[in-house]
């Protein structure tokens, strides 16, 4: 196979990164070992300012987490600046064991509109950004076996088909609306304005400032936000002293409801 392997992902809590990197590593094992992976981690805002373009020589494995059943809307502008110019793409979404709804078909459509030929797609499961119990520690070993198998099949498809077929993935068109949590009366609630609080465990290490995908946490006063919070979990899950938390009633109710209602294990789905 005479192609360059590229990975691209947005991954505030690392699950999307693990899946995308796992696919690339396995494909590379099949090709010459001296090749390296060109990686673009666009989790941080600075990276999303750089334009990226590929050519027909590239294979790009691109992954995003599922937010509200869709591609995170804060990424749409950036994703539309990436140009494929005939590059092959593998579309990957990672979701927290509720559902990926229309995220995979939306990602595939975005890539196609931007000049990629999308030849495979996968929806994988990662520990939920809101929770330390829902899909805990996923993707786990069992998931990574499926990741490897997915990569093997992609390699076979690229190397055995003369005119590589584009993939058909699961999803609705028009896409369903962004999934909205509800309160105890069944009324939809808007958790977009919810922001993390900081407790006295904070040692002011600034890790959260450097990890926030929106660049929103104030450097001088890390309890202050200068921009929006997307509830991605980066500051909360990575804090070495567990100093960050949410106390919003609707958010906490939704988190608990997800943990109860979607406790049974879902399995990855792959499309070729
Ligand atoms: C704002 C927001 C909305 C989410 N919506 C969904 C969803 O609709 N369905 C689902 O199963 N998981 C949902 N998740 C969970 C993430 O998709 C999941 O935890 C993913 O593994 C996170 O990826 P990362 O580790 O790369 O950040 C949501 C997470 C966030 C932050």
Cα Rg of the chain, angstroms: 19
Output the residue whose Cα is nearest ligand 1's atom 28. Answer: 67
What fold is seen in the domain 4-175+265-271?
Rossmann fold (3.40.50)
pLDDT of residue 31: 82
pLDDT of residue 33: 62
Listed by start position, the domains of the chain span: 4-175+265-271, 197-247
| Ligand 1 pocket check for 21: Cβ under 6 Å | no
Domains 4-175+265-271 and 197-247 share a fold: no
* CA 173 to centroid of ligand 1, rounded, Å: 21
What is the per-residue pLDDT across 237-260, written as a single tens digit (0 to 9) for each? 999 999 999 999 999 999 999 999
* CA 160 to centroid of ligand 1, rounded, Å: 35
> Cα separation of 51 and 257, whole Å?
40
Q: Is the preceding omega at residue 174 within 30 degrees of 0, hence cis?
A: yes
pLDDT of residue 2: 80
Model pTM score: 0.98
pLDDT of residue 35: 79
pLDDT of residue 234: 98
* CA 100 to centroid of ligand 1, rounded, Å: 9
Atom of ligand 1 nearest to the CA of 9: 26
Architecture of domain 197-247: 2-Layer Sandwich (3.30)
What is the per-residue pLDDT across 110-119, written as a single tens digit (0 to 9) for each? 999 999 999 9
| Ligand 1 pocket check for 65: Cβ under 6 Å | yes
Q: Mark the ranges of the chain whose per-residue pLDDT is less than 50.
A: none
């Amino acid at each position: 196979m005479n192609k360059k392997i590229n990975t691209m992902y947005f991954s505030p809590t690392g699950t999307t990164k693990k899946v995308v990197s796992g696919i690339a590593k396995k494909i590379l094992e099949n090709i010459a070992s001296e090749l390296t992976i060109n990686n673009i981690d666009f989790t941080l805002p600075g990276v999303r300012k750089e334009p990226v373009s590929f050519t027909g020589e590239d294979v790009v494995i691109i992954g995003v987490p599922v937010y509200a059943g869709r591609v995170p809307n804060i990424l749409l502008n950036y994703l539309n600046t990436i140009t494929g110019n005939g590059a092959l793409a593998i579309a990957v979404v990672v979701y927290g064991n509720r559902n990926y709804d229309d995220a995979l078909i939306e990602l595939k459509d975005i890539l196609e509109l931007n000049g990629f030929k999308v030849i495979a797609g996968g929806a994988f499961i990662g520990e939920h950004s809101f929770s330390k119990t829902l899909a805990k520690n996923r993707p786990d070993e069992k998931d990574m076996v499926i990741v490897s198998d997915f990569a093997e099949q992609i390699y076979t498809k690229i190397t055995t088909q003369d005119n590589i077929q584009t993939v058909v993935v699961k999803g609705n068109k028009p896409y369903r609306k962004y999934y909205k949590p509800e309160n105890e009366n069944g009324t939809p609630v808007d958790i977009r304005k919810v922001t993390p609080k900081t407790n006295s465990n904070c040692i002011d290490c600034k890790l959260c400032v450097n990890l926030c995908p929106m660049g929103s946490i104030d450097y001088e006063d890390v309890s202050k936000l200068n921009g929006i919070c997307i509830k991605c979990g980066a500051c909360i899950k990575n804090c070495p002293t567990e100093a960050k938390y949410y106390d919003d009633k609707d958010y906490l109710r939704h988190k608990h409801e997800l943990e109860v209602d979607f406790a049974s294990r879902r399995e990855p789905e792959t499309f070729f």
